[in-house]
Amino acid sequence: MKIENVLKTVLIWLPSLIISVFFVPNALDKILHSDEQDKITSNSTLIIIVGVILLIATVLFLINKTLILGTTLLALYMTFIVFVHMYKGKPFEVVILIVMATIFAAYLRKPELFHPKQKTETN
């Protein structure tokens, strides 16, 4: 029974860890190599700020108490990136999948956050 619980925990956390492995290097690249970025804006300070926000959002995403805030920040950032890819004429399907995977990983960890609370009738 104990092995089943460990396996269940690992499988629930695996998508979140994979998402984090995507976001952390992306954020570190923005922070450490902001002047080498070929982005819409050439303002390296803005790119560094975005990198720091991405790191903070990823940490918030990994903490259960702040999961919804971290998920929201990461999903909003990637949604913005979808629009940037569309504007530039780049493929955007993979970016949309990352948005969906982020939300799905959050759902796996805390499905009760995504269900509306039922109103109980009192007589």
What mean pLDDT value characterizes the chain? 87
- Please give the span between the terminal C-alpha atoms of the chain, in angstroms, as a whole number: 43
Pick the residue with more confidence: 115 or 37? 115
**pTM of structure:** 0.83
**What does the pLDDT read at residue 80?**
92
* Residue-range domain boundaries for the chain: 2-112
Dump pLDDT digits (tens) for 63-110. 999 999 999 999 999 999 999 888 988 888 999 999 999 999 999 999
> Of 89, 102, 100, which Cα lies nearest the Cα of 22?
102
Mean pLDDT of 54-71: 95
Does residue 122 register a pLDDT over 80? no
3-state SS string for 66-101: HHHHHHHHHHHHHHHHHHHHHHHCCCCHHHHHHHHH
**What does the pLDDT read at residue 71?**
95
Does residue 60 register a pLDDT over 90? yes
d(CA 9, CA 44) in angstroms, rounded, equals 40
118 phi, psi to nearest 5 deg: -80, 135
Contact 81, 95 (CB under 8 A): yes
